[in-house]
Structure 1
């Protein structure tokens, strides 16, 4: 973390430590708003994350470390395009700092990188956008960073649930960080295209903790 960070960095507890939803449970369902098609887990496919969160000047910064201790390569969804809804991706399309900001319910702000939506078998990118991922081979690790400008505003695909709205953010008093993870897909290891309607995404999440005192919501 930067020496000029505003406020102490905090290590978010793993989801399992606070009894967050188990495999097969939905994040939105757990908070009583609507069923989420993606299970929320502390560890998935042999990968356990560490998330480090701090407020630095005018932005929330999340740094994360992943290690694949499983036997198969996986793809972590951590490369989001500047323009939501793109059907194809090149390296220059990626915003290296971008994260989605949503309100899944229960007074939570969720900062995430993931495939978003209920899925669509047609592969229509206007229903579920294509995003990018990074392949992590067994025994390998991966580091990343995402930033949220403050005051935080909701950001996510337009087709998503109203629960991600700014109104929901203003009711929040806690925060959670998530990364989508899927089985291995074809593509260059440094930018794996994750197609619309991909099956089997799991949200690899921290537990929830109080919003940093320095974090402002629009």
Structure 2
């Protein structure tokens, strides 16, 4: 039996080219700014509703936990079936996501939320970001800090975005407060397990040693 002919490659040949070296040292980023580079976080499933009305649900989906802080994934789901109606809601959240003083288009009846530590310290999306103070350094930021991460994601009836909370909430529990008057959600406070996040932070590890 004769051997079958080899199949042609999916890919056309590419001529080799010189690529200049672009090896930069790792960015020395203060921990309040966001997750550390080159670290694999521990993942903690939260799956907790933190605000609800007849047509809107706000929930915390999961936490990516580092030793320095935690990235909380906030999700909004709405009952609207019209594409344009959903796009208007997502457009508002993309602009403001509850951050008030940094966005002149913030609706005073819009989404606002925040975190309260067991020691009483509180940060909400109505507080100024440390970035608003201009040239900040790690020593000028006491925390807690709540910062948006990356770009929001909207699909069908849901909108999601991650937020950096620094430092990792201390103590046994912490609280998340949500209010969205325009969507019928009154101020709602939910207690969450801070010890689970603290335990998970020990599992965060460098990707390369």
TM range (shorter): 0.3 to 0.5
Per the normalisation by structure 2, the TM-score is 0.40
Q: Which has the larger radius of gyration?
A: 2
